[in-house]
Chain A
Amino acid sequence: MEINKNVEEDGVIFMSIKDGLSENKENKANDGDVTILAIESSCDETAAAVVRNGREVLSNIISSQIALHTIYGGVVPEIASRKHVEKMNGCIRAALSEADMTLDDIDAVAVTYGPGLVGALLVGVSEAKAISFATGKPLIGVHHIEGHISANFIENKDLEPPFVCLVVSGGHSHLVVVKDYGEYEIIGQTRDDAAGEAFDKVARAIGLGYPGGPKIDKAAKEGNPDAFTFPQAQIPDAEYDFSFSGLKSCVLNYINQAKMQGQELDQKDVAASFQKAVVEVLVSHAIKACKEYGYDKLAIAGGVASNSGLRELMEKECEANKIKFYRPSPVLCTDNAAMIGAAAYYEYQKGVRFGLDMNAVPNLPLGDRERRFHANKN
């Protein structure tokens, strides 16, 4: 994996991701090629990318604020929004220059318009609308989670719908059938905490800190996953739904009890056992969905999809069940704009165009379209 990193004066990390980049970007665009400038600012990453035909990433720039939020134990929306304004133009310029392009070479401007933090989303949305208006290029709003799912298209040129996708991140735990490009059927989702949320909370409780996902993943590698047996909730009448709140409470109770009894707590064993409980539920639901719905392709997406325990078990189970397993590189599992460019391409091909009245929609449900913002409202 090749990432050019530069830590800026304010602690923000500027990254140019070379992983997954198109190798033939020297080739000039052919007739019929669609090149999209994509922008993402839904949480604490400011990102811009240039993507050709949905699958060729010509540049992928991420400005990560994670160091700024770590001291607060989580993302502070106001700080995130302020940084987006400061960093956005630099990201867009870098994305264009690494792709060796100007705005004249772009066919459309795409942006995440939900779900996410409203103040953060608004920065990308306002910037994208302004660029679209000033250049006369079409504007496409993209659903953040559809972007995560589409990250799979970038490195897997053979992956085409239909397939099953497990979306797991700090805000989402969904089991989805991707019926066609841009067409999603949610077959399972979390009843309470998202998987990533449970990781964050448990990490905080055992003193690993924020962000919880990567820290638990790391600690778990050195711990015994069978040290404790934590419960894996099954939801009656909704076999594909998840619940992580009970598991989280059980871990927290165990920690409290241990503390009260003055026992030494093995952080790594707790991390490994907790991770195992989460991962086993995620994998078993996903495999069952493939079998029962009759799909032989399974993809994962979202921040938690970079969890090594999840990737290993999923790979093993897919092999045993003759299911082809797809996953993005870890760096494409985090928030980025390349995935937004990938998702936008298929919307563009369907003729979707957004109007200048596009607004941020912080709780946009997966698979939904805010058609009121479409320029062609039919």
Chain B
Amino acid sequence: MKILAIDTSGLVASVAISDGDILLGQFSIQYKTTHSEILMPMLDDLCKKVNLDLKSIDAIAVAKGPGSFTGLRIGSATVKGLALALDKPVIAIPTVDGIAYNLYGNEKVICPMMDARRGQVYTGLYTFVPANPEGKIQERRFDMQIIHKQFATSVDEIAEMINEIGKPAILLGDGVPVYRDKLENLLKVPYSIAPMHQNRQSAAALLPLAMQYLEEGKTMSSDEFAPDYLRLSQAEREASEGKENAPKKKEPKTPGIIRVRPMTAEDLDDAAALEKANLGKEAWNSKQLLDALTRDDTIYVVAEKAGRIVGLCGVQNISGEGEITNVSVAPDCRNEGTGYKMVKQLLERGRGIGIEAYTLEVRAANAPARRLYEKLGFVSEGVRAGFYEDPKDDAVIYWKRN
């Protein structure tokens, strides 16, 4: 019985092959390379090194989601192509189950957390329960028990659930470093964090689960397999939330068209470069932007044109008042409505995090920006004389109150 497993749901690209209960090989990379460029060469290399004819495998296992939408699709389309060409069944395993299986035999509460952005994590709760195999007295076998199956929720809520169980916990996954300080404040039980060799997605960890699925007949054809994102696309979500105007504002993302969308971690480097080009010393670096992005009282959007980040802006909710910051547009994309579109989207989204009024500051001499804000209904309510340096200028304070 040979199984090929693939996990591309997060930052790790991972492939593994088992033969019976032997792990023939695993190739895992957690680096800045794109999964699309690295996954197939890794598989090719692995097959060559273990002298495997792919036609001899019995099934293909895949982490079916949740995870990065694009990452999931690279893995899924690869698995579908392989399974179609080789005529093999697909075994779809929940991503978070696979991460938890790294900690086989651990009787603590196991809580994998994947950063899901927007203040949320993809998570679940697991533990391992012992049993004695038939005829054995000392030998133990552990079964993974799912306390709460994988879902998307806030860090506060999952911490609350761990506290309610009241037993020691072990945390793992790429969401842990992102929310580490928050978790320290929220958790009331002793907890530890899994070491690096166990705390990320691993295709090898999918293999024992895949063997169980196979025994239970839980396979599917490559045609019916599709990832389980656990989330609707943003456009569908906004439409279902009844934001009637939201879907109609979507523009096709063809070259030359400016499209505004929420900033994601993949945009950080481009966004920081844009800040730097526009603001020089005053610019935020990607670490500051990451910090801003992962807070749940902020919204950051970027403008994208022909695959390039050409605009950035954000808002932070300070007790109901939204302070708009970092409005930045690439020099060659100004006067095209980029700023207008971005700020307008911020205003629309801001209500969702409880913002009732908006404020911002702008250089008095920046006439195009001031016209833009006035067009959006902002009113000048005051001036901070000599607030800006280099060149010296007044800051005009704008408000938009409902």
Using a CB–CB cutoff of 8 Å, the interface residues on chain A facing chain B are 43, 71-79, 81-82, 84-86, 88-90, 92-93, 103, 115, 117-119, 122-131, 133-135, 170-172, 190, 192-194, 196-197, 200, 355-360, 362-363
Contact = CB atoms under 8 A, between A and B. Distances in A.
Interface residues of B, number: 49
15 contacts: A73-B249, A74-B252, A77-B253, A81-B70, A84-B77, A85-B226, A119-B69, A119-B70, A119-B73, A130-B80, A130-B81, A170-B254, A356-B40, A356-B44, A360-B36
B259 to A, nearest CB: 8
Given A77-B253, A79-B236, A122 B80 contact: no
Interface stretch (B91-99, B183-191, B227-235, B371-379): B227-235
B5 to A, nearest CB: 15
B41 A194 contact: no
Nearest to A356: B40
State the 3 A-B residue pairs at the shortest beta-carbon distance, nearest first: A130-B81, A134-B85, A126-B77
Contacts of B250: 72-74, 76
Contacts of A71: 239, 247
B306 interface: yes
B255 interface: yes
B256 A89 contact: no
A165 B373 CA distance: 45
B43 A85 contact: no
A73 B40 contact: no
A85 B76 contact: yes
A74 B253 CA distance: 8
Contacts of A355: 41
Which of B39, B239, B255 lies at the interface centre, i.e. has the most chain A CB atoms within 10 A of its CB? Answer: B255
Interface string B31-49: 0001011111101100000
Grouping DSSP codes into helix (H, G, I), strand (E, B) and loop, the B interface class, with mixed when no group exceeds half, is helix
Nearest to A78: B233
A363 B307 contact: yes
B86 interface: yes
Contacts of B253: 75, 77, 117
A357 B37 contact: yes
Contacts of A357: 37-38, 40-41
Contacts of A117: 253
B383 interface: no
A89 B36 contact: no
Nearest to B248: A73
Interface in B36-87: 36-41, 43-44, 54, 69-70, 73-82, 84-86
Nearest to B8: A126
Interface in B295-309: 306-308
Given A86-B226, A133-B40, A357-B41, 10 more contacts: A74-B251, A78-B69, A81-B69, A81-B73, A85-B226, A126-B78, A130-B40, A131-B84, A171-B254, A194-B255
